[in-house]
Structure formats: structure tokens, C-alpha cells
């Protein structure tokens, strides 16, 4: 068996604050609610994270309590937030959800999302993004229903994903009340579907969107549009799938596509739920199963899973059928739990579910369930064996990965604590949600504390930390890592004992040797230009291949590219995009412009 490999998956949507009634009754009369987070794409992201993948969420959040709660929920559920945008004027959307009088009944739902922060996402805000790092893009039909801007953003991302070779999955998830007309809904969702590799409609949704009646007819419409795989949910009965090879033919097919081989089709039976508690989120759970199953089944293939279609298509059909079975299982687990995502399983819980249902299944179904169960069991055994020899991902490794994504860290010296929040908001709005706040002034500690509270999306590094006492104050205030101009063994030891990332300054092989002996693999190269710059770093990379560096000191627009071209450089620290004069004048708009210019320069 090939070990499950974590994949980065981009999702776009509107997560909302969810107030759920704690007792049955009309929403207008209920007085007791519980608060959580809702949203189809948010549910899928949670499910993917629980199965060990790396979901990345993109949306706009209002700078309000609901927005901060949602952001905290994303972080808590290990959903990457680097694509989150913040809105200083619009509010985060919310919804009310009733409690059905009888288990299994659909609850009443009411939305407060008109003119929300998320509804302000547009094509212009995403068109410069590169999606090459993602294995897949998952979309639903909910977000494009909000307005013309969100429709443009979704279509732009779908087109960019195809260009980048990502797998594109699309769940129509119809919300007719959000659309101006049924005709607009049909036209838009079919346009998005034509850009997808996998489309996941419910049976009734498929009938509305295509005008056809049977699953086979509905799938045929999507294949003719260029969709390689269609999976149609048929409720408790299970799901129908159809997969075909799509070839390029300038004479036939939309956008020069046509299917050139007969579709492979089949039905996959559903699992019997012990009891149906809440149907909300079942479709999202199904999408989690299908998408994760496809991405895991053929980890060695190219990201566009259906471009490599083998002779006869049997391998691809087997992969899809297995993924659909997983979708059925996760959908069944979800309906047995109250709440939108509480039933989404971990890999261990999913393995237990398959084990429980193996014996009660028919012979054909039982062998399929057994194969899935054994796959999870073997993976678990390998994981347990690996844990004896491989340490878990450390906070320093997480930091290094984040720095490699950001590529540059603004180094900030604040004169007054109140400058911290508007400055870091300008950095984040410009595309750099990170700052090294230096302890060169007395304003640093309080600034870090307020930034941590008010601008939680910003990664805070505490700079110019010269002693343990300063390190303690920085971490207690909310800093995520300690950065020093030199190598202080006491500071390094204090951080390592508490598993706090620390980047001590090094400029010579002797200092690097000392850091290696203490167990560090990433350091600050300071002062970069004065210590020899790019040539010195290139020389150091030879003997110290296991070390990574964050050069700081003398970094400018002219030499930034040269530093970042070195593979052992994780990011550069620099202050040129935050000139002291602009900070003194509190010209945060111009600072944001300079940051945007810097980010564009990074590509």
C-alpha cells in the first residue's frame, strides 16, 4: 500500500457564525442558542483536515467578534488561513438554525448574509494568485449565488486551477432563494461545472440543472460539457457514478472537448444509519469522502487525475468507486450527529466505521468495505511504526513552512504601541500577514499584545530579543517565535525547553556549528549584507546542507530576488516596505501600497 500523502486543497466560500436553537420551536420564539461556525465549504475543509490533508480556506471576514471567532475556528481545526482577507467595514455573515421537533426532520434556517464581508470578494482580488501549489480546488454553488463579484471570483479560480493542473471538484449545492432567477442559477452553475473534473449533484439538483430525469441522462449532459467524472447522490440508497475519457477534438464538444470512450458507470450502495439525528452537512461529508478518496488513491499520478486515463479506464473507475464508497460512509456518519460537522471522522474513526459495517454487508459490498478497512488498518500500523522513529511535526517546522510561503518578513520598530494594529492591518491587506516586532523600543511588548488580540491573522515574531526575560515577555504577549541578532545559549535553551521556535542570529560557520549542536536547523543570517551577502550564504550552504536561513540586514528590492533564489533561504527580513518616515506620519495607505508592490514583485 502507498502511504496516505497530505495534499493542499483550496476552498472558497462564506463561513458564517451559526446560532443553533437549543430547543424545538419557531426561531422567532427561541431564546436559547449555542454558537458555532457554519458553511458548506467550511465543513468540507474540517473533514479534509481530520483525514490528514491540508485545506486552505479563502474568504473575506469582517473585523468583528464573529469574524475573529471564525478565524480562531479555522486555526483550531488546522485549516490554513494565508488566503483569508479582512474587511474593515463590512460585517461577517451569520445564520440561525432551529431544532427540529423530530429527529431526522430538516431544521428551519434563516440567513443574515446580505452585504456581508464575504460577499465583497471579487475576481480582481484573486486573479493574481498562483494555484500551482494546490492539488485540488473545491467549489460549491452557494458562494457564486451571492452576487456578481463572488461569481467572478469563483470562475476566475476555477480557470486558474485548470491552468495549474489542479483537480477541480464542484458540488452544486443549490440555494434557489439566493439567486435572482432560476435561469441565472442554471446558467452560472453549468458554466462552473464545465470547468470541473468532478461534479457532485444530488439527484434532484441534477434534474433541475440539466432538465434530464435519470442519473445516466444527467451524467451524459455533464460529460458532453467536458466533465470527466459525475457522482450523483441518491439519498440513503447511495450514489451513482459515471466516468469517461475526455479527449481533445476541435470539431466536437464544448471548448474543443468531447468524450471519446463509453462511460464506465455504476451504483454504490449507502450505509444504514443507526438513527438519523440531523441531515445538515451530509452532502458536505459526502464531498469530503469523494475528494479525499480520489486524491489518496493515486498519489503518484499527476494532479489532474483523469488526464492520464489508462486503457479501458478500469483503474480510474476503481478509484472513483472506492472514493464514492468513502463518501457514502462519511455522509452516514454525519447524519448520526447533531450539528453541521460534528460527525466528520478522523482516519481512525473511519476505519472503525468500515470495520463495524464489514460483516453486515453483502459479499460484493463486504469485500469492498474490507479492502477500505484493511487499507486504513495498514496505514495505522505504518503510522504507529513510524512514530517510534519519526518525531511529530514541530512548531519550528510549521513556522519554517509558513515563512517559505510568505517569503519576506517586515521588520518593524514601533515608537508607540497603538501603531501596531493599524500597521499590521496594512501589512495583511497588502498581502504580508507577518511582522517581526523588535524590542528596540519599550512599545514592543504592548504592541504585540494588542496585535495578537485584534489582528489574529498576523504571524508575530519578536525581534531583538537579547535575554530570557525579554523572551518570556514576548511569548506571554502573543509572539509565535523569538528572533535574536546573535546566538544567546540561554535564550535558545529556554525556547527549546518550551518548544518555542527560535531563530538566533549567525554570521559565521562557528556560530552555525553552535546552533547545530543545540539542535537548531533554521537561523537568522545577520547582518546579511555586511557578513558577505548572497556569496557568503551560497558558500555556507555547501557544508551546512541541513540548515535554513532567514537573511536580515541590508535587504532591499534590488537584492531580494538574489537571496530568495537560494533554496536554503526560507524568507528575508527587511524594513524597506515600512519606511520610518511613513510610520511616523502614520501613512498606512502608502505602506499598504508598498507592501502590495513588494508582494507583486515576489510573483
Sequence-distant (6+) residues with CB within 8 A of 79 are: 45, 46, 49, 55, 56, 57
pLDDT the model gives residue 599: 87
Residues 405-436 have pLDDT tens digits of 899 999 999 999 999 999 999 998 888 999 99
pLDDT at 389 over 80: no
pLDDT the model gives residue 255: 47
Residues 455-477 have pLDDT tens digits of 988 999 999 999 999 999 999 99
d(CA 333, CA 36): 20
Residues 340-379 have pLDDT tens digits of 788 899 999 999 898 887 655 554 555 566 556 566 655 5
Provide the pLDDT confidence category of residue 235 given band limits of 50, 70 and 90. Answer: confident
Contact, 427 vs 434, CB < 8 A? yes
CA distances from 592 to 108, 343, 449 (A): 43, 42, 22
pLDDT the model gives residue 253: 40
pLDDT at 278 over 80: no
Q: Which residues are annotated as catalytic?
A: 284
Percent of the chain whose pLDDT exceeds 90: 66
Helix (H, G, I), strand (E, B) or coil at 292: helix
Contact, 550 vs 503, CB < 8 A? yes
Residues 294-322 have pLDDT tens digits of 998 755 444 444 554 444 467 788 889 99
Provide the pLDDT confidence category of residue 254 given band limits of 50, 70 and 90. Answer: very low
Q: Which of 233-237, 290-294, 324-328, 494-498 has the lowest mean pLDDT?
A: 233-237
pLDDT at 17 over 50: yes
What does the DSSP 8-state code read for residue 63?
S
pLDDT, mean over the chain = 87
Amino acid at each position: 500500500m502507498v502511504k496516505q500523502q497530505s495534499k493542499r486543497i483550496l476552498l472558497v466560500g462564506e463561513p458564517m457564525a451559526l446560532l443553533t436553537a437549543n430547543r424545538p420551536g419557531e426561531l422567532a420564539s427561541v431564546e436559547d442558542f449555542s454558537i458555532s461556525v457554519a458553511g458548506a465549504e467550511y465543513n468540507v475543509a474540517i473533514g479534509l483536515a481530520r483525514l490528514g490533508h491540508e485545506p486552505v480556506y479563502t474568504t473575506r471576514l469582517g473585523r468583528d467578534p464573529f469574524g475573529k471567532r471564525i478565524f480562531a475556528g479555522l486555526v483550531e481545526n488546522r485549516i490554513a488561513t494565508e488566503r483569508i482577507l479582512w474587511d474593515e467595514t463590512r460585517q461577517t455573515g451569520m445564520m440561525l438554525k432551529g431544532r427540529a421537533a423530530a429527529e431526522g426532520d430538516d431544521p428551519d434556517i434563516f440567513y443574515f448574509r446580505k452585504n456581508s464581508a464575504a460577499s465583497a470578494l471579487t475576481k480582481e482580488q484573486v486573479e493574481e494568485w498562483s494555484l500551482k501549489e494546490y492539488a485540488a480546488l473545491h467549489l460549491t454553488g452557494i458562494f457564486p449565488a451571492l452576487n456578481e463579484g463572488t461569481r467572478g471570483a469563483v470562475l476566475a479560480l476555477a480557470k486558474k486551477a485548470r491552468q495549474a493542473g489542479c483537480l477541480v471538484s464542484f458540488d452544486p449545492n443549490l440555494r434557489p432563494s439566493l439567486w435572482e432567477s432560476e435561469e441565472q442559477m442554471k446558467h452560472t452553475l453549468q458554466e462552473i461545472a464545465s470547468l470541473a473534473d468532478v461534479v457532485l449533484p444530488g439527484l434532484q439538483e441534477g434534474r433541475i440543472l440539466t432538465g434530464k430525469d435519470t442519473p445516466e441522462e444527467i451524467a451524459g449532459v455533464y460529460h458532453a460539457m467536458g466533465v470527466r467524472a459525475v457522482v450523483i447522490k441518491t439519498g440513503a440508497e447511495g450514489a451513482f457514478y459515471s466516468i469517461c475519457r475526455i479527449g481533445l477534438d476541435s470539431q466536437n464538444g464544448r471548448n474543443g472537448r468531447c468524450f471519446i470512450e463509453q462511460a464506465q458507470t455504476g451504483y454504490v450502495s449507502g450505509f444504514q444509519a443507526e438513527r438519523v439525528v440531523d441531515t445538515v452537512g451530509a452532502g458536505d461529508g459526502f464531498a469530503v469522502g469523494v475528494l479525499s478518496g480520489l486524491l489518496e488513491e493515486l498519489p503518484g499520478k499527476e494532479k489532474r487525475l483523469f488526464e492520464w486515463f489508462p486503457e479501458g479506464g478500469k483503474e480510474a473507475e476503481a478509484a472513483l468507486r472506492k472514493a464514492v464508497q468513502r463518501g457514502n460512509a462519511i455522509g452516514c456518519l454525519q447524519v448520526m450527529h447533531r450539528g453541521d460537522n460534528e460527525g466528520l471522522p478522523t482516519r481512525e474513526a473511519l476505519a472503525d466505521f468500515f470495520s463495524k459495517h464489514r460483516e453486515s454487508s453483502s459479499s460484493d459490498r463486504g469485500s469492498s468495505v474490507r479492502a477500505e478497512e484493511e487499507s486504513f488498518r495498514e496505514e495505522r500500523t505504518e503510522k504507529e511504526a513510524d512514530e517510534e522513529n519519526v518525531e511529530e511535526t514541530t512548531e519550528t517546522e510549521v513556522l519554517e513552512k509558513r515563512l517559505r510561503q510568505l517569503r519576506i518578513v517586515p521588520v518593524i520598530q514601533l515608537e508607540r504601541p497603538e501603531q501596531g494594529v493599524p500597521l499590521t492591518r496594512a501589512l495583511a491587506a497588502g498581502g504580508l500577514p507577518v511582522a517581526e516586532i523588535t524590542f528596540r523600543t519599550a512599545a514592543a511588548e504592548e504592541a504585540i499584545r494588542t496585535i495578537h488580540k485584534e489582528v489574529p491573522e498576523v504571524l508575530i515574531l519578536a525581534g531583538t530579543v537579547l535575554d530570557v526575560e525579554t523572551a518570556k515577555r514576548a511569548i506571554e504577549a502573543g509572539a509565535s517565535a523569538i528572533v535574536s541578532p546573535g546566538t544567546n545559549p540561554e535564550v535558545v535553551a529556554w525556547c527549546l525547553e518550551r518548544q518555542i521556535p527560535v531563530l538566533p542570529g549567525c554570521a559565521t560557520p562557528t556560530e552555525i556549528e553552535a546552533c547545530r549542536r543545540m539542535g537548531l536547523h533554521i537561523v537568522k543570517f545577520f547582518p546579511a549584507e555586511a557578513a558577505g551577502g548572497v556569496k557568503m550564504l551560497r558558500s555556507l550552504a555547501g557544508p551546512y546542507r541541513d540548515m535554513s536561513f532567514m537573511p536580515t540586514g541590508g535587504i532591499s528590492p534590488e537584492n531580494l530576488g538574489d537571496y530568495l533564489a537560494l533554496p536554503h533561504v526560507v524568507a528575508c527580513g527587511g524594513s524597506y516596505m515600512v519606511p520610518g518616515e511613513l510610520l511616523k506620519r502614520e501613512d498606512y495607505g502608502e505602506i499598504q501600497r508598498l507592501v502590495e508592490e513588494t508582494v507583486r514583485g515576489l510573483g
